[in-house]
Amino acid sequence: MIFIKDTKIEPESVPDIPQGSVEQASLAQLAASNIKFDYASQEQLLFELNVRGQTVTAAKDLDRSGMAFAIFRKSRCNPDFWNRTNEGGFRLKKGASPGEAITDIYEHGRKYATECATAMVIVYYRALLVVWGPETFNRIFPKIELMNWHHLDRLLREIGLMRKFPLYLPGDRLYFANPDVDPMTPQWQGENVIDLNGKLYYGHGVGINDADTIIRALNKNRIENADESAYLMDAAGRPDYNKLFRASQSR
């Protein structure tokens, strides 16, 4: 159930939702749930739906970008926009435009390589860049450092925190855990993914697949005589959409 200022809202009353879109699917799931979802305004609801839709688009586009998978000690980035840190992360160069730097990853993906958690952060930055436009994006994120959850901006810290929710929606960051991972291949201890539609998921290094395919890939990298399968965790790293909306409204 969706409520705006204590008034229940039906999906058909929300304007400008494209038919067959991620936004429409997310709106329908929220409305059909027995859980009450409160929003301060219609604009706040539309913002969340828009970011969710752009997150799915950003995930699909990153899958096509040519960015390679690499552990941190083998990571690489375009030095025109980023300094590679000693840890293997990417720090925005002084004087570089944050929006242009994120865009460069998508336009010149073959110059980049990193692991799956960092790819998730890139996806959310890209989604917000599209929703806000470069002027607002650059104002809100003047400094960016990309390295899994270790250097997250305070406005994005929630995507690094796995919490249980009553409902999972497109654009959520989910995690496939592999408890019996082979210690010789620790990069297969799990896979961070973006939920595309509840059936397909984007994970950097495994591409776009259904849950069974991702689980099979993880299960191929377990210790000998492993008896516990990889599985999709009942939790998500979800942006605080209300906080992001308020940040975009401030001057």
Q: Are 63 and 203 in contact (CB under 8 A)?
A: no
CA 175 to chain centre: 11
Of 137, 124, 100, the C-alpha closest to 241 is: 124
Helix axis angle for 42-63 and 98-107, nearest 10°, is: 40
Predicted local confidence at residue 90, as pLDDT = 98
Q: Which residues contact 229 (CB under 8 A, 6 or more apart)?
A: 215, 219
- Burial class of 36 by CB neighbour count within 10 A (0 to 12, 13 to 18, 19+): exposed
Predicted local confidence at residue 251, as pLDDT = 58
Q: What percent of the chain has pLDDT over 70?
A: 100
The three-class DSSP label of residue 16 is coil
pLDDT class for 159, splitting at 50, 70, 90? very high
Predicted local confidence at residue 16, as pLDDT = 87
Of 133, 169, 129, 165, the C-alpha closest to 49 is: 169
What backbone phi and psi angles, to 5 degrees, belong to 139? -70, -40
Q: Are 226 and 217 in contact (CB under 8 A)?
A: no
Identity of the residue numbered 228: E
Predicted local confidence at residue 249, as pLDDT = 87
Q: Are 123 and 55 in contact (CB under 8 A)?
A: yes
Task: At 159, list the tokens.
Answer: 């995507």
**Average pLDDT value over all residues in the chain:** 96
Task: At 142, list the tokens.
Answer: 């003047």
Task: Give the model confidence (pLDDT) of 5-26 as tens digits.
Answer: 989 999 999 998 999 999 999 9
Q: pTM higher than 0.95 for the full model?
A: yes
Predicted local confidence at residue 83, as pLDDT = 98
Mean pLDDT of 93-106: 98
Query: In the β-sheet with 2-4, what is the strand arrangement from edge to edge?
Result: 7-9, 2-4, 37-39
Task: At 47, list the tokens.
Answer: 């913002």
Mean pLDDT of 62-71: 97
How many CA atoms, within 13 angstroms, populate the side-chain half-sphere of residue 1?
A: 8
